[in-house]
Every structure is written in C-alpha cells, then in structure tokens.
Amino acid sequence: MDETLITVKEVALNNNCPECYGRGGLILTFKQKVIENQLYKSITSEIKESIHCKTCNNIVYPEQWTDDIDRIVEYQQKAFKALASSTYIKKTSWIIIALVSIVILGTILLVAFV
C-alpha cells in the first residue's frame, strides 16, 4: 500500500520568516493524503499544511509561527477547498469482480440444471 501526499494548493505569504527574518519567502502548502495499491486508489480527507521559507530553505514548524502567521494560516484554512474524498476501483479489481461473478453464476447454473 503506497501512501503519498499530493500538493493541492500553495500560497505565498508576505510575512517575515522566523528563521532568517526575510520577507516574502514563505510558502504555505496544503497537501492531501492519497492511498494507492493494485486494486484501488483512494483520496482521503486528511489534510496537512506546512510552511517553507524559500529564502533560507528551512521548514517553519508551528511552534515557530508568529501570531500574524497563525492568523493567516487560519484564514487560508477556512478558504481552502480540499479534493473530495473518494475511492476509484482500478481495472484489476473490475477483472477480479467479473471473474468471481462468472464463477458464482456458473456454479448456480450448474447446480440448477443438474
């Protein structure tokens, strides 16, 4: 089972970085968890957000956020629309379902006519 995070939205923040104090280098990224295996692909409702400074190339952890950054993150969370949670059945699953259905139907017909 392969779990990945896909980037759904990136927002450039115009705040000072708590690490390097550079202005305009912060990027707020929203990522959504996707689970994929041979039988299905599922988009979950699990959302992760992170802030990265492209000036000093550091991750800004929530403990380091200032009140201004915290307010902007809360606003962006309210404005953010996640991808709908869904499950897609792959071709392999459909083939397995069809084969099992044929075997069951064949067994029923064999028992009915014998």
Model pLDDT for residues 54-100, shown as the tens digit of each residue: 888 889 998 988 888 899 999 998 888 888 889 999 999 999 999 99
Spatial separation of the C-alpha atoms in residues 10 and 110, rounded to whole Å? 59
Count of domains for the chain: 1
Q: What is the domain extent for residue 19?
A: 2-113
Residue 32 confidence (pLDDT): 94
Question: Tell me, what's the pLDDT at 23?
Answer: 83
pTM of the model: 0.76
Q: What's the CA gap between 63 and 48, in Å, rounded?
A: 15
- The per-residue pLDDT for 113 is 82
Q: How far is CA 97 from CA 90, 93, 94, in A?
A: 11, 6, 5
- Mean pLDDT over each residue of the chain, to the nearest integer: 90
Both tokens assigned to 63: 């403990």
pLDDT value for 55? 86
The length of the chain, given as a count of residues = 114
